[in-house]
Structure 1
């Protein structure tokens, strides 16, 4: 799968270029158009178009094809190239599409260190291939050097490389907190590593 973007950074659209018979998982609710002949399998969900669920598998015909995906919020689209040796943590619901060789890894120890047994607002992805992310507003790419620290509000986090050190803490111990939404929490990151921040919170 190759990814071409247009209308960025304000109203990004990602075009997924598929090889013959190549399949990709994508958010059916974000599908804008496809080339003729692309087969869509929604897993029996029919016309449901809920965003952020990767609920469809798109398969190109014998001659190949393309899919255009448009996020439900105004902003950029960004592609991460997974190398198969390390993973990425991405904000839950931000992935528009991922190659069939990329998969969520809910058992990754780093997630349990952050959220315990509860499902948090971040998911861990592993594998090899492209992941297309929907960004609220523009994208800030932060390269943290060794020994460099930064604090990020959860609602502005888009993704971070899993080699980076991350700690979750309360803004105020007396306020309400939720690991499912990030309410009342902050994320501390320590380099070295790469961090993606979105500039709008929708």
Structure 2
């Protein structure tokens, strides 16, 4: 699977190039177009169709164009198998079968406890295609270098980083689901990917 992007960073579209028989998963409504012969299937969960589709290339290969529901950037994050990434739960546009979501990854369970937080963990190999409401930026942290980022701007970060979640004001409102009232402290080495627009405000 290879990914080419266009119209970034304002109105990004990701063209996912698929080898024969290769498949990619994305939200059903993000499929803009595909080459002829690509098969779309919708997996069922609990007897009901999910909101996600699997696009599978025919014997000659093919492509799928995926467009986020709102304006912004698209960013292929290359996973090499050695290091996993924590990603904002609303940021994943598409993923191949070779990239898995780790629902019980221990460090995120330590951050959020039993609650479903605003981050998910992914590992494996291949291109995890991310979407952001603004241009994608990054902070390159050297060992022991620190940076604080609001959750609404966090896109993804690798397992090499240390991460601490804390309240801005312990007496104020807080939400593990959205990140309201919270910040993330990161310690290097590693790269923090951020988006240049607030995700909740952009959805307005």
Q: TM-score, normalised by structure 1?
A: 0.93
Q: 2:9: which partner in 1? A: 9
CA shift for structure 1 position 127: 0.7
State yes or no: 1:196 paired with 2:199.
no
| Runs of 4+ with deviation above 4 angstroms | none
CA deviation vs aligned residue, 1:119-158 (integer Å, no higher than 9, x gap): 1000000111110000111111211111111111101111
Q: 2:181: which partner in 1? A: 184
Check the 8 A contact 1:104/1:125 in 2, yes or no. Answer: yes
Q: 1:113: which partner in 2? A: 110
Aligned length: 196
Distance 2:188 2:161 in 1: 6
> SS of 1:8's equivalent?
coil
CA shift for structure 1 position 74: 1.2
CA shift for structure 1 position 56: 1.1
Which sections of structure 1, spanning at least 5 residues, go unmatched? Answer: none
CA shift for structure 1 position 29: 1.9
Q: Of the candidates 123, 126, 129, which is equivalent to residue 123 of structure 2?
A: 126
CA deviation vs aligned residue, 1:42-70 (integer Å, no higher than 9, x gap): 1259xx895xxxx1111001111100011
Q: TM-score, normalised by structure 2?
A: 0.92
RMSD between superposed Cα atoms in Å: 1.4
CA shift for structure 1 position 23: 1.0
> SS of 1:86's equivalent?
coil
